[in-house]
Amino acid sequence: MTISDTEEGLPEAVAGQFFSPFFSTRRDGQGIGLTPVREILINHGFEFSFLTIREEETVFTIKF
């Protein structure tokens, strides 16, 4: 499964922290959205990757 975002893209500095607990790019963000997703994928043995292809396109891939 591949999820692609073609809005703003994500700077490399942010991408490295994207799955960290309580990290958010939003001023009022809680930073808990992707942390549980990461844990679920790891606990079920799924491979996943998160890659910014170019400035306006970020792709999240889950391999079942």
Give the tens place of pLDDT for each residue, 21-43: 898 888 898 888 788 989 999 99
42 and 34 Cβ atoms separated by less than 8 Å: no
pLDDT greater than 90 at residue 46: yes
What's the confidence (pLDDT) of residue 6?
Answer: 80
What's the confidence (pLDDT) of residue 7?
Answer: 77
Please give the Cα distance from 56 to 40 (Å, whole number): 28
The pTM of the whole model exceeds 0.85: no
% of the chain with per-residue pLDDT over 90: 25
Q: What is the strand order of the sheet 57-63 is part of?
A: 2-5, 57-63, 47-54
Please give the Cα distance from 37 to 14 (Å, whole number): 17
Query: Higher-confidence residue: 37 or 52?
Result: 37
The superfamily (CATH) of domain 2-63 is Histidine kinase-like ATPase, C-terminal domain (3.30.565.10)
